[in-house]
Structure 1
């Protein structure tokens, strides 16, 4: 997935907290989500398998393929259609 060189938009703590809550809820329920990731051309779709607080990476698995997404780069979380 190609990455774009630009400054990441800043978000306040409330937006980040809500985003984190949605990720935890999706992980606990095992729902398939679609993540809009800053700087990535493609959206990431799959089930959240692990939230790594040490590296701040969200592990998303789809069709046996694991993608690790930096939490701070996630712009939007939605249910996959």
Structure 2
């Protein structure tokens, strides 16, 4: 499955979940998680909220949507 990750204000990224799963560490049958997607775009779950259909999802949940929105909670300095 292909997933689009839209980091609001910073652009979009496209990923193939099968490629992520084969490149990642084996962690059971659940497949890649939203935290895995965040890691691929260089973000930490501590600095963002992950939304699917406008609702927050836990970062440790397996990816089940083909479009994910990421909102940065902290930016700048």
**Do they fold alike, i.e. is TM over 0.5?**
no
Q: Which has the higher contact order (CA 8 A, sep 6+)?
A: 2
Which TM-score applies when normalising by structure 1?
Answer: 0.29
**Greater fraction of residues in strand:** 1
